[in-house]
Amino acid sequence: MFDAPNNITSRLSPIRIGSVTLDMPVILAPMAGVTDAPFRQLVQKFGAGLVMSEMIASHAMIRENRKTLQRTRQANESGITAVQLAGTEPEVMAEAARLNVDRGAPIIDINFGCPMKKIVNNFAGSALMRDEKLAASILKAVVNAVKVPVTLKMRLGWDRENMNAPRLAKIAEDCGIKMVTIHGRTRCQFYKGQADWSLIRLIKNAVKIPVIANGDIRDNSDATLALAASGADGVMIGRGTYGRPWFLRQVMDYLRTGIAAPSPSLAEQRAIVADHLDAMLSYYGTYTGLRIARKHIGWYSKGLPKAAEFRAAVNTCDDAEKVRGMIDEFFEQIIQQAIKCHPRESGDPAASDSERMSLCQDSYGPQTRAAGFPPSRE
């Protein structure tokens, strides 16, 4: 049951983002190179309040660059997919927003959080937190350009001395922004240290629009603690979904019921990885699809026995059929090992592969346990 001080379930109510209602505000973070259409679809299949596209460069969008169009919301996506825009010129961002809405985006999100030098040096991403006037012009231009709700994602501020997120959130609300997500770090922290969920409360206190807490939510109790510390209306999760597209569903279930749902069995995970690979191959074609699949396959296998050998083999193979075979074989040997350790007995009919796998982790040595995989029931 909950370790958190309050009963979070009763506080995590549906939120309204303008005309869009999120029944369960547990959101997939935008991640360049990760939250592409195949991954978003997979996360949506398990369940998510909202998913976000990778950040789209507004300039490239209005040039209708092929790669950029591939990153936007796709016509066949189910569920609610927000498209995130990065840029620095109000009119260009407004035009990029219009184009995405024409392509079916139900929500536009604006990126004031990206810390990368190549973005910041162009005065985009978190650099915009240092120029509140330009920030306000961008927000107004985009809000006025489209009929769908516009949201904003940012950090606490540029650095510890300049944590202006509460003021900027208020400016954003006054410009017509309908939800703000805060990554609980400053730009100068990049991804170092810990996200500070309690500082997000300052933003929550500054505005009436929904505030979403983001940063370092890796298990159910992180989600409850982030909500309790920040007072936020929902959570956004990024890296916690690596190799676990089902994680948002688990968090939603936990926040609803207080009971931790098990991860899919190893046999189910094998099917999930194979389906994800197929989706990437058909979306990108074999050459690019295989290369993009490598990092996901690496994440799926993390902490499992013989994962390093498996990854080395997958990362050097250019034959999709062979990679499918490797995935099958890799999971099969673990499933067989788990069965050997804990055969399914009549007294233990419900034990899943994952549970049996975790019961016999000792036979796989410290690597498996150190990686904390498979996630055990909490």
Catalytic residues: 114
Q: Minimum distance from CB of 282 to ligand FMN (Å)?
A: 23
**Site for ligand FMN (CB under 6 A): which residue of 27, 31, 50, 97?**
31
Toward ligand FMN, which CB reaches closer, 214 or 220? 214
* 238 near ligand FMN, rule: CB under 6 A: yes
Which stretch in 18-26, 111-119, 157-165, 265-273 sits in contact with ligand FMN by CB under 6 A? 111-119
Half-sphere exposure of 13 (CA within 13 A, CB side): 6
Q: Minimum distance from CB of 212 to ligand FMN (Å)?
A: 10
* 54 near ligand FMN, rule: CB under 6 A: yes
Toward ligand FMN, which CB reaches closer, 31 or 50? 31
N- to C-terminal Cα distance for the chain? 8
Toward ligand FMN, which CB reaches closer, 16 or 239? 239
Please give the residues from 195 up to 224 whose contact with ligand FMN meets the rule CB under 6 A: 214-217
Q: Minimum distance from CB of 59 to ligand FMN (Å)?
A: 15
* 32 near ligand FMN, rule: CB under 6 A: yes
Toward ligand FMN, which CB reaches closer, 88 or 361? 88
Toward ligand FMN, which CB reaches closer, 151 or 263? 151
Residues 155 and 186: beta-carbon distance below 8 Å = yes
The rounded Cα 362 to chain-centroid distance in angstroms is 31
Contacts 24+ apart (CB under 8 A), 74-78: 74/37, 75/103, 75/104, 77/37, 77/40, 77/41, 77/44, 78/41, 78/44
Site of tokens 């994962």: 307
Query: Cβ-count burial of 76 within 10 angstroms (0-12 exposed, 13-18 middle, 19+ buried)?
Result: exposed
* 29 near ligand FMN, rule: CB under 6 A: yes
Q: Taking the alpha carbons of 303, 306, 308, 313 in that order, is the dihedral positive or negative?
A: negative
Q: Taking the alpha carbons of 49, 55, 58, 63 in that order, is the dihedral positive or negative?
A: negative
Closest residue to ligand FMN in the complex (CB)? 238
Half-sphere exposure of 282 (CA within 13 A, CB side): 8
Size of the site for ligand FMN (CB under 6 A): 22
Q: Minimum distance from CB of 327 to ligand FMN (Å)?
A: 23
Which stretch in 30-38, 167-175, 196-204, 304-312 sits in contact with ligand FMN by CB under 6 A? 30-38
Query: Cβ-count burial of 185 within 10 angstroms (0-12 exposed, 13-18 middle, 19+ buried)?
Result: buried
Toward ligand FMN, which CB reaches closer, 30 or 210? 30
* 239 near ligand FMN, rule: CB under 6 A: yes
Residues 200 and 179: beta-carbon distance below 8 Å = no
* 183 near ligand FMN, rule: CB under 6 A: yes
The residue ranges that bind ligand FMN (CB under 6 A) are 29-34, 54-55, 84, 111, 113-114, 153, 183, 214-217, 237-240
